[in-house]
Chain A
Amino acid sequence: MAFRKWSLWDLTSTPFVGLGNFQTLIADPMFGKVMLNSVIWVVCSLVPQLLIGFLIALGLRKKFRFRGLYQAVVFYPWAVSGFLIGILFRWMFNSEFGVVNDLLMRIGIVSKPVPWLANPDLALVAVIVANIWYGVTFFSIMILAALQSVPDELYEAAALDGAGRWQTLTRVTIPTIRSTLVLTVLLRIIWIFNFPDIIYAMTGGGPGDQTQIATTWMIQYTQQGEYGLASALGFIIMGVLVVFTGMYLMLLNRERTS
């Protein structure tokens, strides 16, 4: 399909067009913007997710009363689909009756309601905030599991050597769980890159394509019935995926043999 002119509006002729679909895509000024948005979407979501997730995992490492209950409650976003999270945040970021504006005004950060999802400069911020909120859970679960597998002897040894808290964290804990960190980050890059749901529900790629990423753009083409272009874009997305998946699998193998 990627190599044919294939549109639902004209199924009588689906000639072979070779790389024509790819040329059409890459010549489109949207292409560069969409790729840039995809990178921003991945990086700006991933870094805060990782940091907050790590902090929460550290906070949960020690036993305390109600820890099990706390985990059960805090990890609930996992059970909810990205699409529904998008709907929830779309309502909270609503410019007329949204609770986000109300809170910001009560604190005094803004003086009048901000049209988050209608403003081309702010919409990308809003969808990334929602995505950060949604992804922290994954990192806290994964990192907590890794932290709990660090042997106590290492900490005892560090304490004997007179290492402080900070040194223990940077010289013992982080190096020990490094492989888990790298693997989860790689998995997450792949996952976020492939994750159109929140954007789809909050802005549909708008306003004016400002929040369009590769996958939302592809879905838009699919829903417009432009299967040839959508498949070509799918090919390009797959190319990106293959690179990162290859890296992930190589690391996974190295982990298993070591």
Chain B
Amino acid sequence: MISKDPRWLSAIRIVGLGFWLIITIFPLYWILLTSFKPANQIAEYPVRYWPRQFTLDNYTSLFQKSEFGSYLLNSIVVSAAAGLVATAIALLSAYILSRYQFRGKGAVMMAFLVTQMIPAFIALGPLYQMFTNLGLVDKRFGLVLIYIAMTIPFSAIMLRGFFDNVPDSLEEAAMVDGATRFGALWRVIVPVMTPGIIATFIFNFVNCWNELFLAVTLINTDDRKTIPTALNGFISSFNIEWGPMSAAAVLTILPTMLLFAFASRWIVAGLTQGATKG
């Protein structure tokens, strides 16, 4: 748009964007506020939009009354392990998809795309049976394995897009200087692609961190649960304690928000390419 907008249009735009900003932020503000309210102010009506006093009681009771420390640790370990392995495997597959022509390549890309359309919970029953036979039910290791399988396809699509943006001449020059193909990949291309690789890892980490239905089905022992599994237990009870609940929600949302904010530019680039170019 070259022409300047008339004043009324700019005004509409500012008001519209401002309005949407408020609507978007409000739920987050509300859960934060609730988590710092003392119990008697959470359950009062009419509602207060600014508490009379701030308290950390909800957070302390969350850690005292539940195994929240364990849940947090489990979530971090499982998401980090699965995210790392999946990113590494996807990096190699993406390299092959980007640099080599082979028969069935189209089919592989197609399979990667299609598996993204099918949610994991479709196969919960058979998966549970399979994991029972393998002795992987109720083990964090089993969860890591299934998360790796879940996150590889899209990571490969995303990373392939980043590889395509790196010219072949880079590794060719390195190979002329006597580097092996793998050496060229490792020493020349990976450094160039670092932001993309980190973004892919973050994307995987957040996906595992947020995953619910597989974890609920496969994990039973309390101190092996990830956060979403534990929250599922909280909301299934008849009487939800909204104070500790909101504290738990805040602690779950904040890390992922920070990670995404840090890598959002790259993730957006990877996703828009992946979804509309294939």
Contact = CB atoms under 8 A, between A and B. Distances in A.
Do A and B share a complex?
yes
Given A89-B27, A227-B125, A52 B110 contact: no
A16 interface: no
B231 A1 contact: no
Contact of A74 (B21, B47, B123): B21
B1 A194 contact: no
B189 to A, nearest CB: 25
Given A78-B260, A80-B256, A145-B272, A230 B124 contact: yes
B126 A80 contact: no
Given A88-B249, A102-B45, A142-B272, A79 B20 contact: no
Nearest to B106: A253
Contacts of B253: 79-80, 84
B8 to A, nearest CB: 11
Contacts, number: 177
Contacts of A194: 117-119
B132 to A, nearest CB: 10
Contacts of B278: 252, 256
B99 interface: no
Contact of B17 (A59, A196, A218, A231): A59
Contacts of B182: none
B108 interface: no
A238 B118 contact: yes
A121 interface: no
A111 interface: no
Interface stretch (A37-45, A91-99, A205-213): A91-99
Contacts of A78: 260, 264
A84 B45 contact: no
Q: Which residue of A75, A88, A105, A238 has the most chain B CB atoms within 10 A of its CB atom?
A: A88
Given A159-B3, A218-B121, A222-B125, A97 B47 contact: yes
Contacts of A234: 122-123, 125
A85 B24 CA distance: 12
Interface string A91-120: 110101111001001100000010000000
B121 A219 contact: yes
Give the one of A52, A55, A79, A190 with max B CB within 10 A. A79
A72 B259 CA distance: 12
Interface in B114-150: 114, 117-119, 121-126, 128-129
A142 B210 contact: no
B23 interface: yes
B110 A249 contact: yes
A142 B125 contact: no
Interface in B221-278: 228, 231-232, 235, 242, 245-246, 249, 252-253, 256-257, 259-261, 264, 268, 271-272, 275-278
A59 B13 contact: yes
B31 interface: yes
Interface string A68-90: 00111111111111011101111
B206 interface: yes
Contacts of A61: 1
Nearest to B213: A219
B63 interface: no
A125 interface: no
Contacts of A98: 47
A55 B19 CA distance: 12
Nearest to A94: B242
Contacts of B110: 249
Contacts of B54: none
A75 to B, nearest CB: 6
Contacts of B46: 102, 105-106
A102 B27 contact: no
A74 B277 contact: no
A142 B276 contact: yes
Contacts of B31: 88, 91
Query: What 4 pairs between A and B have smallest CB-CB spacing?
Result: A81-B210, A227-B125, A79-B260, A102-B47
Interface of A: 1, 6, 52, 55-56, 59-62, 70-81, 83-85, 87-92, 94, 96-99, 102, 105-106, 113, 133, 136, 141-142, 145-146, 152, 155-156, 159, 165, 179-180, 183-184, 187, 190, 194, 196-197, 200-201, 215, 218-219, 222-223, 227, 230-231, 234, 237-238, 241, 245, 248-249, 252, 255-256
22 contacts: A1-B129, A59-B17, A74-B21, A79-B260, A81-B228, A83-B210, A84-B210, A84-B249, A87-B235, A91-B30, A91-B31, A91-B246, A99-B30, A106-B46, A159-B3, A179-B276, A197-B212, A200-B212, A222-B125, A234-B123, A249-B110, A255-B276
Given A70-B17, A77-B24, A97-B43, 8 more contacts: A70-B21, A72-B261, A79-B261, A83-B231, A84-B228, A197-B212, A222-B125, A234-B122
